[in-house]
C-alpha cells in the first residue's frame, strides 16, 4: 500500500487538528506479511520521492513512490529528478500522485483546456523511455477512471497512476472514492513473477508506442516502402516470411520487447488497428501478426 500526505504521529501527539490549509506532504509504503522483502530505501526528495528496492518470490524490482508538486513550475524540475533517479537495468514500478494528466482524455472540465502541459509530456516520455505500462488506464469505479474530483465537482482528472514493467500481468484496476480524501483509492493485483528472457520467443509490443506519432509515422513509411518490393519474391510464402522479418525489425528498433510467452502476440493486432485507423486494415498486415 502506498500513501501520500502522511506524517508520523507520536504518542504525545495523538490529538491532531486537520484543516485543508495545513495538509502535509510525505509518501509512505506499507508492506503486509513477509512475502515482500524490503532491501533498503532512500528518500530522494524529502516528502516527495521515495525509492525502495523490493524482492518477492525471487523477483527483485525497484519501487518509486511519487508525490509530485501541485504547482506547475515546481512539477517540471521534480519530474526531471524522477527521470534521473529511474534505475536502468532493473524492473521498475512507478506509482502514486503525479498531479498531472498524461492524455487529453484524462481530464473533463466545465472550463476550457485539457490540462496537458510540459509535465504531461515529461511523464509520457518517462513511461516510454523505460517501457512501462499504464495499468490503471481502464480502471473501473463510480467515478470511472478519474482519480481526483475538485470540491465543486466541476473538474474530474486522472492524475494517480500505477506504471508497471512490460510483461507483468495485472487484473483490471478498481478506482474507489474514499471519505477522507478528494482522491480515489486505486487497487490493482499484479503478477510479479515474470522476468525478461533472452532467446527465441514471441514479440510483445510496448503499447505506449501506439501514442508516439514518430513511431506511427516511421512504421507507415517503412511498410509503404516495403510493399513496393513484394513483387520481387517468387511466391506468397516467401514474401510473407520476409515481410514478417521486416516488420519485426522495424518494431524492435522502435522499442519492442522480446518475451517468451505465447499469449502476448495478440497485442500486435491492436498495433495494426491503431496504425490504420484512417483506412481499412490491410489483410496482409493483419496476417503478419497471426
**What are the pLDDT digits (tens) for 89-134?**
788 999 999 999 998 889 988 776 667 899 999 999 999 888 899 9
Q: What are the residues facing 151 on neighbouring strands?
A: none
- Structure confidence at residue 74 (pLDDT): 94
CA 290 to CA 287: how far, in whole Å?
A: 5
**Has residue 197 been placed in a domain?**
no
Domain boundary among 135, 169, 191: 191
Q: What is the CATH number for 88?
A: 3.60.10.10
Q: Check whether residue 65 and residue 18 sit in a common domain.
A: yes
What separation in angstroms does the CA of 135 have from each of 171, 220, 261?
Answer: 9, 27, 19
Q: Is residue 184 part of a domain?
A: yes
Say if 281 falls within a structural domain.
Answer: yes
Determine the structural domain holding residue 75 and report its residue range: 2-191
Residue that terminates a domain, selected from 191, 213, 242: 191
Task: Choose the final residue of a domain: 191, 210, 239.
Answer: 191
Residue 88 falls inside a structural domain: yes
**47 in the Ramachandran plot: left (φ > 0), alpha (ψ -120 to 50) or beta?**
left
Same domain, 42 and 138: yes
Looking at the structure, tell me whether residues 72 and 176 fall in a common domain: yes
**What gap in Å lies between CA 143 and CA 125, rounded to an integer?**
27
Answer yes or no: is 264 within a domain: yes
> What are the backbone angles phi and psi of residue 202, rounded to the nearest 5°?
-110, 155
Residue 47, classed as helix, strand or coil, is: coil
Counted domains in the chain: 2
Which distant-in-sequence residues (6+ apart) come within 8 Å of 257 by Cβ? 131, 166, 167, 196, 203, 204, 205, 206
Residues 53 and 159 in one domain: yes
Residue 196 covered by a domain: no
Strand partners, 51: 42, 64
Per-residue pLDDT at 17: 39
If asked whether residues 154 and 14 sit together in one domain, one would say yes
The reported pLDDT for the residue numbered 79 is 95
225 close to 247: Cβ distance less than 8 angstroms = no
Q: Which residues of 57-72 are buried (b: 16+ CB within 10 A; e: fewer)?
A: eeeebbbbbbbbbeee
Asked whether residue 208 falls in the same domain as residue 94, the answer is: no
In order along its 290 residues, the chain shows pLDDT tens digits of: 666 655 444 444 333 333 444 455 677 788 877 788 888 888 899 889 999 999 887 788 999 999 999 899 999 999 999 999 998 878 899 999 999 999 888 998 877 666 789 999 999 999 988 889 999 888 888 878 889 888 777 889 999 999 998 878 888 888 888 877 788 888 988 876 555 444 444 445 555 666 667 767 776 776 666 666 666 666 666 766 666 666 666 666 555 444 333 333 334 444 444 444 444 444 444 444 43
Whether 182 maps to a domain, the answer reads yes
Work out the angle at residue 51's Cα, subtended by the Cα atoms of residues 103 and 139, and round it to the nearest 5 degrees: 35
pTM value is 0.62
Measured torsion, CA atoms of residues 139, 93, 199, 261, in degrees rounded to the nearest 10: -20
Tell me what pLDDT residue 206 has. Answer: 58
Amino acid at each position: 500500500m502506498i500513501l501520500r500526505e502522511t506524517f508520523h504521529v507520536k504518542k504525545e501527539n495523538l490529538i491532531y487538528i486537520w484543516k485543508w490549509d495545513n495538509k502535509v506532504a510525505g509518501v509512505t509504503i506499507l508492506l503486509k506479511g513477509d512475502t515482500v522483502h524490503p532491501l533498503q530505501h532512500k528518500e530522494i526528495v524529502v516528502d516527495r520521492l521515495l525509492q525502495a528496492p523490493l524482492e518477492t518470490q525471487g523477483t527483485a524490482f525497484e519501487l518509486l513512490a511519487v508525490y509530485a508538486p501541485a504547482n506547475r513550475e515546481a512539477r517540471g524540475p521534480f519530474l526531471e529528478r524522477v527521470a534521473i533517479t529511474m534505475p536502468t537495468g532493473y524492473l521498475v514500478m512507478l506509482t502514486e500522485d503525479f498531479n498531472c494528466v498524461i492524455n487529453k482524455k484524462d481530464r473533463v472540465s466545465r472550463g476550457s483546456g485539457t490540462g496537458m502541459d510540459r509535465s504531461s509530456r515529461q511523464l509520457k516520455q518517462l513511461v516510454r523511455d523505460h517501457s512501462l505500462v499504464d495499468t490503471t488506464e481502464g480502471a473501473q469505479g463510480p467515478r470511472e477512471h478519474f482519480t481526483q474530483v475538485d470540491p465543486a465537482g466541476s473538474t474530474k482528472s486522472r492524475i494517480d497512476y500505477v506504471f508497471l514493467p512490460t510483461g507483468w500481468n495485472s487484473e483490471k484496476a478498481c478506482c474507489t472514492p474514499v471519505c477522507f480524501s478528494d482522491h480515489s483509492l486505486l487497487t490493482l493485483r499484479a503478477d510479479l513473477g515474470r522476468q525478461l528472457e533472452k532467446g527465441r520467443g514471441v514479440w510483445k509490443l510496448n503499447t505506449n508506442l501506439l501514442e508516439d506519432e514518430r513511431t506511427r509515422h516511421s512504421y507507415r513509411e517503412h511498410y509503404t516502402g516495403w510493399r513496393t518490393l513484394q513483387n520481387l519474391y517468387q511466391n506468397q510464402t516467401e514474401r510473407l516470411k520476409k515481410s514478417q522479418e521486416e516488420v519485426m525489425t522495424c518494431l524492435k528498433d522502435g522499442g519492442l520487447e522480446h518475451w517468451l510467452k505465447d499469449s502476448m502476440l495478440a497485442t500486435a493486432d491492436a498495433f495494426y488497428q491503431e496504425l490504420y485507423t484512417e483506412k481499412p486494415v490491410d489483410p496482409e498486415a493483419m496476417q503478419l501478426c497471426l
